[in-house]
Amino acid sequence: MIVSQKSTPTTSSLVSPESRLPLLGWMLLLTCTCGCSISEKFQQRLDVTATLSAARTAPEGKMTTVSGTTSSQVQLEQQDLSESSLSAGMRLQFDHGPLRFLVDSIGASSASTGFFSGAIVGADLPADIYGSEIELSSARLLMAFPLSASARGEEGALDARLLAGLDLTGIRLQFKSTSDPSAFAEFDELVPAPVLGIQSSIRIAPTLDLEGIFTFLPLAKITDYDAECIDGSIRLGWDPDPDWNLFAGVRSHNIELSRVADGRPIDLDFSIEVIELGVEYQF
């Protein structure tokens, strides 16, 4: 294939040799000036805020495996796998001028022993007593862009920011017979989801603030995944000191995934329900 290009005059063909030296001088001066301006603009303070919380987390949901013309379903509540447990939550927040970067993680796990019979992914488990485990986790890498005047460092009550980034949801479900070690099934998956969302906070009193974060997956397909990922949280914080913040909050993280594993269609709908108390410190 031949691609034709239209010839356009360049700067060097429009400028005579005698005038190139002054032009280059002006361009050099302009470049230096812009460079200094950009350097001064981005030489701003980097604020780091660390958050650590004690969280009561509980996994919820179900997983369905289709084997031929029949389907088997694992209900976490029926298998006593939806019991809450104590966990730890973490968030790191980096503010540089109007830009913000967020890294956070939370997880939930549960284990039990009970009767089960059916298919899980590629394994057909006979009727028996099984030890079962479920582990769910979420790790987000987000970048926040200012939407409101307060988020840009100006006067304003509401700090609102647009979020864009990646949510990594880890899922591990395991069943193992207590009488026959060969009767074993495991589903272990890391689901990457590009997400969009919003973060907003407002001061409702001199020492009280309310913060909400909502992220969702705007795409129906992620490579070979058919997935939905929604995460929402709200926190009420108290500032006893300008550098310290004590907070209480709730969060819900939900992942729905449909795919083929070991030649069988599977559908899962899991969520992490969180109640947390924590402390935030700004360095």
pLDDT at position 20: 38
* Helix, strand, coil distribution of the chain in percent, nearest 5: 10, 70, 20
**Tokens at 46, concatenated:** 């980097």
Residue 198 pLDDT exceeds 70:
yes
**Tokens at 213, concatenated:** 């974060």
How does pLDDT run across 82-121, given as a tens digit for each residue? 999 999 999 999 998 889 999 999 999 999 999 999 999 9
How does pLDDT run across 65-82, given as a tens digit for each residue? 998 888 999 999 999 999
Domains within the chain, CATH numbers bracketed: 45-282 (2.40.160.20)
pLDDT at position 74: 95
**Rounded to an integer, what distance in angstroms lies between the CA atom of residue 269 and that of residue 50?**
31
**Rounded to an integer, what distance in angstroms lies between the CA atom of residue 18 and that of residue 155?**
53
Segment 229-250 shows an average pLDDT of 94
Segment 264-269 shows an average pLDDT of 94
**Rounded to an integer, what distance in angstroms lies between the CA atom of residue 42 and that of residue 40?**
6
Average pLDDT taken over every residue of the chain: 84
